[in-house]
Amino acid sequence: MKRSDPEFEAKCVTQLNSFRTNILGQQAALSAIEADKRRPGGKGLENYDRTNDIETMIKETVNLTKNTLSAVSVLVNNVPIIGPIVGPILYDVKCFLDDILNFTENFLDATLNKLQPLLGGLLGSSPSRECLSGVKLLGLCI
């Protein structure tokens, strides 16, 4: 490959645009599936229980990942050589990953919310306010 190879560059752009089209199709499908379930501005918090430490950890991990993707998108857009070509593609991929993370966060929160009462019935309640074993899962002393 030469230092500046227009044919190679064109192939790269074609492949990236193909990837982008695929991602946009998947994002549209996910949006259609979730459209009835989402509250406006929900952003993955539809089933979030602020009192549940596991759900809070999931939320913080998702937000860290989304913020990192946003920062990478800004960095790429500011690189003059690749920013104009790769920047819009990366932004679309970032938005799709945001949607996937929101969907996953909602699913995990809903699952944990349904699982906690079942585990409470199975394991019973702790006889004291202190967790004697020191092991808590979903707010239950194990």
Q: pLDDT of 92-101, one tens digit each? A: 888 888 888 8
* pLDDT surpasses 80 at 30: no
Please tell me the pTM assigned to this model. 0.64
Give yes or no for a contact between 46 and 37, defined as CB atoms under 8 angstroms apart. yes
CA atoms within 13 A on the CB side of 41: 0
Give the model's pLDDT for residue 127. 46
Q: What is the pLDDT of residues 32-84, one digit of tens each?
A: 766 655 555 566 788 888 888 888 888 898 889 889 988 988 888 888 888 88
CA angle (75, 71, 5) in 5-degree steps:
30
Tokens representing residue 103 in the block: 């969907």
* Paired strand residues for 136: 141
Tokens representing residue 133 in the block: 């074993």
What is the band of 126 on the pLDDT scale with cuts at 50, 70, 90? very low
State what percent of residues in the chain have pLDDT above 90.
0
Closest listed residue to residue 98, CA positions, set 23, 35, 6, 37: 23
Give the model's pLDDT for residue 123. 60
Closest listed residue to residue 88, CA positions, set 13, 1, 10, 3: 13
